[in-house]
Amino acid sequence: MEQPKDSLFAVQRQSGDISTTVYWELKSAVEASLLVQTEEDRSAIAEAAKMLRAGGTVAFPTETVYGLGADARNTAAVEAVFAAKGRPSDNPLIVHIADRSALDGLVTAVHPTAQALIDAFWPGPLTLVLPVRSGVLSPLVTAGLDTVGVRMPDHPVALALLSAAACPVAAPSANRSGRPSPTLASHVLDDLAGYIGGVLDGGAAGVGLESTVVQVQPDGMIAVLRPGGITTEQLASVAGADAVDTAPAAVVELAAAAAADASSASGPEFAAGGSSPGPRAPGMKYTHYAPRGWLGVVRGASPQRVAAEATLLLQAAQQAGENTGLLLFAEHKALYPAEAAACVVSLGSLSSPEEGARSLYAALRRFDEAGATYILAEACPETGLGAAIMNRLMKAAGGSVIEAG
């Protein structure tokens, strides 16, 4: 992927050769959210924590994806995160903490509804955007806003590292900006070896999609800024169905689609079919999670119509010399020809969205490994985790949608 042509994007800056990135492979078993640490693992976590305290950058596993951490109070350390990722400077970072008591030192107030969400979902894949306490965090973390996103991850390695570092850790996903988020340490190394200080390898991430980001309004309404590992239905179970507003995320998706249309981002000719304020949460403004090839999302009134349209487009792309890819759900595989695309990847069953969430980013990276230049992905129902899956697909596609009728 080319570096985005936007003055807000940091130029990706390499700190050394690949060997300069320290790799710690943890040997302990992770069971029932408890880390059984060996002496070697405790030493690795201590070394990584020391690197964070010294202003270095460390990638580490969470229950969502791998994060790239830096001391959130240290502007130079946070700058290194932006430089390693090539991240736009107006994109705020989420701060990770190991204990709920640390929240008081970072924010000025917690709405009762926000507290109820914390009680229900922390530790876990939920980020709350709260009023930031002045002078505590680097201004780069908040991108100049008066709020900060905070979460407490539900992963034993992450919690052990955060506790040992004894500082708030700003941690976006540990990938080059715009690329699919990493769910394995190998994904981190593919993108960032030589650009960051170290990688703690704790195995595969669990949820596979980033946290849900919400902001509780003064009237108690929950604005969903980014769908993720905590579903709208789960939020409603705590605050009530009438108290959850998904419009902020939907507005962003519509804006992304409009921008894609305006910039002729509908892909090659055989594919059917300015400035803006800084985002209040990560994942709200820019194209994210994208494979290197062109990606379009196909949706329609029935799986049969989607498959028929995708098959025609893939055949046309192949005839035009494209290396094709198809992302589908297991129930629909029989609707396609045996060799519908050069690289066909399944997200599993629609009845198990958790499987799709876990495998989405790895699937997008598989298309890169296969050299796919033209990729079509089936849409899925936007209920439960399906809302987060579709959010990421739409971001990866830059809003490019193909209507199958």
> Which residues fall in the annotated binding site?
64, 87, 91, 96, 147, 151, 171, 173, 181, 211, 226, 289
Interacting residues of 271 by C-beta distance below 8 A, sequence separation 6+: 294, 296, 313, 374, 400, 402
CB 217 within 8 A of CB 226: no
Residues in binding site for L-threonine: 64, 96, 151, 171, 211
CB 285 within 8 A of CB 249: no
Q: What is the CA radius of gyration of the chain?
A: 21
**Structure tokens given for 243:** 């108290």
User: DSSP assignment of 76-110, as one string?
Assistant: HHHHHHHHHHT-BTTS--EEE-SSGGGGGGTBS--
Interacting residues of 339 by C-beta distance below 8 A, sequence separation 6+: none
Rounded CA-CA distance 287/395 in Å is: 5
**Structure tokens given for 299:** 């949706």
Residues in binding site for ATP: 87, 91, 147, 173, 181, 226, 289
* Helical pair 386-396 and 353-369, crossing angle rounded to 10 deg: 20
**Structure tokens given for 372:** 């796919």
Rounded CA-CA distance 57/181 in Å is: 17
Q: Which parts of 166-204 fold into alpha helices (H)?
A: 185-192
Interacting residues of 284 by C-beta distance below 8 A, sequence separation 6+: 225, 226, 248, 249, 252
Q: In a 10 Å sphere around its CB, with 0-12 CB exposed, 13-18 middle and 19+ buried, how is residue 22 labelled?
A: middle
Interacting residues of 7 by C-beta distance below 8 A, sequence separation 6+: none
The verdict on whether omega for the bond into residue 337 sits within 30 degrees of 0, i.e. cis, is: no
**Structure tokens given for 179:** 């690329």
CB 128 within 8 A of CB 190: no
